[in-house]
Structure 1
Amino acid sequence: MTDHYTPTGGLPPQTALLTDRAVFTDSYAVIPKGTLRDITTSLLPHWTGMRMWVIARPMTGFSETFSHYIAELSPGGGSTAPEGDATAQAVLFVVSGHAELTIAGQTHLLFPGSYAYLPAGTDWTIANDHDAPCTFHWIRKAYVAVPGIAAPRPFVTQEADATTVAMPGTEGAWSTTRFVDPTDVAHDMHVNIVNFLPGGTIPFMETHVMEHGLYVLQGKAVYRLNRDWVEVEAGDYMWLRAFCPQACYAGGPGPFRYLLYKDVNRHMPLTLR
């Protein structure tokens, strides 16, 4: 399934009202799709033909484990030195267009629904040799190595080839599309797609240590974040610190789906960073 929302930038007219759904609290943030405008983009060194929206970054006292970009790569754009941090692992998830990702000399064609895992220190490059922009999510986390456990290997796969598992007792109303075996403790982050059929729900207030980034790919829902109910739709982003209570009811008429980041499988540090 590749019906994924893709931001296009632009600016609203001068006649538009300022009222919006953007909110930042001490436990969560909601970044609506309407905030992803031309003037909120940024550039990176050693890239050409690329702009990006930074929708999450580590912040002391809030969410501290990851960054999340939405990158738009123009025709002819790319990078031969995309990552400047040797400790950073990454997931790329493509929502529109095509690009060529080269990992250690092997080139992979990326298209909507493509998913790439890039371990820390991976030699990779990316280029858009096509006639339309390519937009992809780029999620980064410093890898926490464990003595005696080898780091994960890079891989490229497709959403259509991933395993979708229904949550117990939901008859498929709530399911998760997984790109990594959840029992593989070599991985210290998961980036999955969570799926709800209309009327599906998270039927309890999840309250846990994992931090979250949730980018709505499709549909709409009413989401409970801490003490508040908020309406979200395709293109919106929710950013949750650890232990923020959360639940949702999916609306309709179609499925509600989001790309989800969470940190997993490691001891908790016992000193403050």
Structure 2
Amino acid sequence: MSQRTYATPPGGLPPQSDLMTVDTGRAVFTDAYAVIPRATMTDIVLIALPHWDDTKIWVLSRPMTGFSETFSHYVLEVAPGGGSEKPEANPAAEAVLFVTGGELALRVAGDLHRMTPGGYAYLPAGADWTIENRGDAPAVFHWIRKRYIPAEGIEAPEVFVTNEGDHDPLPMPGTDGAWATTRFVDPADVRHDMHVNIVTLEPGAVIPFMETHVMEHGLFILQGKGVYRLNQDWVEVEAGDYLWLRAFCPQACYAGGPEPFRYLLYKDVNRHMPLDL
């Protein structure tokens, strides 16, 4: 496999000489899916959060009635010395952190972890954690948040911290490794009510059918390029773009070249469908 790379938001602001439609013109929001191109992730769309210092924060998805309703996905760029002693305000929120650039010090449950690109942490609801950039360069990471849904008689999952490099991608049957998924949680472990995986398609590989399912998706393109079929539309995407898919949005894709097409994928799993909306 080619060397792994991890796209990060460009930040800054485009020059006045840029045409609006060159890249940001790919942005679209429909009743079934959204496409947020990397070029839209500039400093003009940043937010600030309480108790975070020297940190740029982009919000790529949030729960919205009538659209995706289970999760929120942030990308954060932490300057040297920045971070948070009180990152999470909601004790019911679980999280996955995934590092794409620089180095971060994550302290959780009394243990200190050094996280570098490919670093992955699962933080259960109510976890006591802090995060800090102790390095000399900015650090970038994804923060995916979801309200944890307990299941009667099932223990809540525990904290774990790992790295993509420590997990072998699992090939889809019949694809000879051209389509594979790096899983950080056993799909049979019903303690977990969300999965955040990495999907890798080698150049020319294809998801050859229109997946139509109840899981909501957030997809951040980490590397490469591809063409997605979303509902009735063909959408070209590249490293740094984000896709946000409502439940049951039909989806399939082709991977372009010359490098692997890889994306960080969120989905909600392992719980009954709510009946009180």
2:126 paired residue number: 121
Note the alpha carbon deviations across 1:87-145, whole angstroms, 9 max, x for none: 00000000000010001211000100000000000000011111001100000000000
Give secondary structure in 2 for the equivalent of 1:265.
coil
CA distance in 2, matches of 1:152, 1:162: 19
Give secondary structure in 2 for the equivalent of 1:181.
coil
Query: Is the contact between residue 4 and residue 223 of structure 2 (CA under 8 Å) also seen in structure 1?
Result: no
1:6 paired residue number: 8
1:9 counterpart letter in structure 2: G
1:12 counterpart letter in structure 2: P
Note the alpha carbon deviations across 1:203-254, whole angstroms, 9 max, x for none: 1000000000000000000100000001000000000000000000100011
1:16 counterpart letter in structure 2: D
2:40 paired residue number: 35
CA-CA distance at 1:2 after TM superposition: 3.9
Give secondary structure in 2 for the equivalent of 1:160.
helix
Query: Is the contact between residue 163 and residue 179 of structure 1 (CA under 8 Å) also seen in structure 2?
Result: no
1:39 counterpart letter in structure 2: I
Q: 2:20 aligns with which of 7, 18, 21?
A: 18
2:91 paired residue number: 86
Judge which range, 213-222 or 159-168, deviates more.
Answer: 159-168
Percent of pairs with identical residues: 68
From the superposition, tell whether residues 163 and 152 of structure 1 become closer, same or farther in structure 2 (CA, over 3 Å).
farther
Judge which range, 92-101 or 42-51, deviates more.
Answer: 42-51
Instruction: Please tell me whether residue 217 in structure 1 is matched to residue 222 in structure 2.
Output: yes
Query: Is the contact between residue 2 and residue 95 of structure 1 (CA under 8 Å) also seen in structure 2?
Result: no
Equivalent residues, number: 272
- RMSD between superposed Cα atoms in Å: 0.7
2:75 paired residue number: 70
Instruction: Please tell me whether residue 199 in structure 1 is matched to residue 204 in structure 2.
Output: yes
1:18 counterpart letter in structure 2: M
2:265 counterpart letter in structure 1: L
Note the alpha carbon deviations across 1:130-184, whole angstroms, 9 max, x for none: 1001100000000000111000000000001124110010001100000111110
Instruction: Please tell me whether residue 102 in structure 1 is matched to residue 102 in structure 2.
Output: no
Give secondary structure in 1 for the equivalent of 2:26.
coil
Aligned pairs (5 A) from 1:147-186: 147-186=152-191
1:137 paired residue number: 142
Regions of 4+ moved over 4 Å = none
CA distance in 2, matches of 1:238, 1:186: 27
Judge which range, 225-234 or 7-16, deviates more.
Answer: 7-16
CA-CA distance at 1:8 after TM superposition: 2.8
Give secondary structure in 1 for the equivalent of 2:165.
helix
CA distance in 2, matches of 1:201, 1:215: 18
CA-CA distance at 1:48 after TM superposition: 0.6
User: What is the TM-score when the length of structure 1 is the normalising length?
Assistant: 0.98
CA distance in 2, matches of 1:104, 1:119: 11
Query: Is the contact between residue 68 and residue 140 of structure 1 (CA under 8 Å) also seen in structure 2?
Result: yes
List gaps (5 residues or longer) in structure 1.
none
CA distance in 2, matches of 1:268, 1:92: 26
Aligned pairs (5 A) from 1:186-265: 186-265=191-270
Give secondary structure in 2 for the equivalent of 1:100.
strand
CA distance in 2, matches of 1:211, 1:179: 18
Judge which range, 227-236 or 156-165, deviates more.
Answer: 156-165
Give secondary structure in 2 for the equivalent of 1:109.
strand
Query: Is the contact between residue 122 and residue 160 of structure 2 (CA under 8 Å) also seen in structure 1?
Result: yes
1:235 counterpart letter in structure 2: G
